Structure 1
Amino acid sequence: MAIGGSGERAEKEHRPSPIDVHVGSRIRLRRTLLGMSQERLGEALGLTFQQIQKYERGVNRVGASRLFDLSRVLDVPISFFFDDMPGTVGGSQGFARRVAGFAEAQDGFQDDTLQRRETLELVRAYYRISDPAVRKRVFDLIKAMTPPE
C-alpha cells in the first residue's frame, strides 16, 4: 500500500462536485414543489430513497440517462437542473457571462429563501388553488402586505 498522495486523492474523489451538488439541489427543489417523497420518486425511477438522497446531496453523480428519466418524472426540461447555476460553478466563460446577473446578485449574499420548506409549501399551496381569479387575488393580497423594496 503506497503512502503519500493516495489518501489525498481518495479524499478529493469523495468530495461532491459543486455541479453535482447544484443538480441535486434542483432535483430536491422540484420534487418538493411537486409534493413528492424521495421514496415515491425512487419508485418511479426504479431506485431506493437512499439513492435519491445521494443524488440530492450531490454525493452520487447523475448520469445523462438518469437525468433524462428525472426530467420526465419531474416534468421539467433537462435544462431545469442547471438553471440558476452560479458562473463560478460551471467554469465555462460563455456560461459564466450568461448567468452573470445571477452571480452578481448573489455576490456576498446567501439567500436560502427558495430552499426553505416554508417557501416550498407556500408555492405548492398557491398552485393548488384551481381558480385563476382567486389565485390572482391571493397574489395581490400578499404583494399588498409586503413592505416596498
Structure 2
Amino acid sequence: MPSKKAPNPIDVHVGSRVRLRRMMLGMSQEKLGESLGITFQQIQKYEKGTNRIGASRLQHIATVLKVPVSFFFEDAPGSPEDVPASGDSQQTSYVVDFLSSSEGLSLNKAFVRIEDAKVRRRIVDLVRSIAGEDA
C-alpha cells in the first residue's frame, strides 16, 4: 500500500489563497462549488492543498473570485520574492494568515469602516496594550 504523500507546498499556498479570497468576498464553499460545477467537499480539498487545482479550473476560480490568476501565487514558497531580503515575506505571510482567519477577516472588515483616523489609532494602541506590546 503506497504511503500518503504530503501536499506540495505550492498547492497548499494556492489553496489558502483561494480560501482567503473566497472569505474576503463572504462566499461559502458551497456557492463557489456551485459556480464551478463541483461539490463543496472538492473546494475543501483544494483549499487544504490535498487536491491540486488544474490550470483551467484555476482560471475559472479566478474569474468567479474576480482576481487575476497571479493572485493565487503571490508570496508562494520558492518564488523569487520569497527570498527574504528584509524579512518582508514573513510579514506578508503573517498578514495572509491573519486575514485567512474568520476573526481577522471580521476585525479587518469592521476596522476599515471606522472613518475617524484618531479612533482607528486608539484601537491599534488598545490592541497592542492588551497584547502586552509597547505602542
TM-score interval, normalised by the smaller of the two chains: 0.7 to 0.9
Shift of the 138–100 alpha-carbon distance from structure 1 to 2, 3 Å rule, reads: farther
Of 19, 23, 30, the residue aligned with 1:28 is 19
Q: Does 1:120 align with 2:112?
A: no
1:11 is matched by which residue type in structure 2? Answer: S
Of 18, 32, 37, the residue aligned with 2:28 is 37
Distance 1:23 1:103 in 2: 24
Contact 2:98 2:105 in 1 (8 A): no
Of 13, 30, 54, the residue aligned with 1:63 is 54
Q: Does 1:146 align with 2:124?
A: yes
For each residue in 1:3-30, what CA deviation from the matched residue of structure 2 results, as whole angstroms up to 9, or x when unmatched?
xxxx5xx325x32100000000000001
1:122, CA displacement in angstroms? Answer: 2.7
Give the greater-gyration-radius structure (CA): 1
Distance 1:55 1:11 in 2: 20
Identity score, percent: 50
Gaps of 5+ in 2: 126-133
1:125, CA displacement in angstroms? Answer: 4.4
1:62, CA displacement in angstroms? Answer: 0.4
1:115, CA displacement in angstroms? Answer: 2.6
Gaps of 5+ in 1: 1-6, 128-134
Distance 2:45 2:75 in 1: 21
SS of equivalent to 2:58: helix
SS of equivalent to 2:87: helix
Q: Does 1:83 align with 2:83?
A: no
Of 82, 92, 114, the residue aligned with 1:99 is 82
TM-score by length of 2: 0.76
Q: How many residues align?
A: 123
Deviates more, 1:135-144 or 1:39-48: 135-144
Runs (4+) of structure 1 exceeding 6 A deviation are none
Distance 1:140 1:99 in 2: 35
Of 34, 45, 50, the residue aligned with 2:41 is 50
Give the aligned partner of residue 130 of structure 1: none
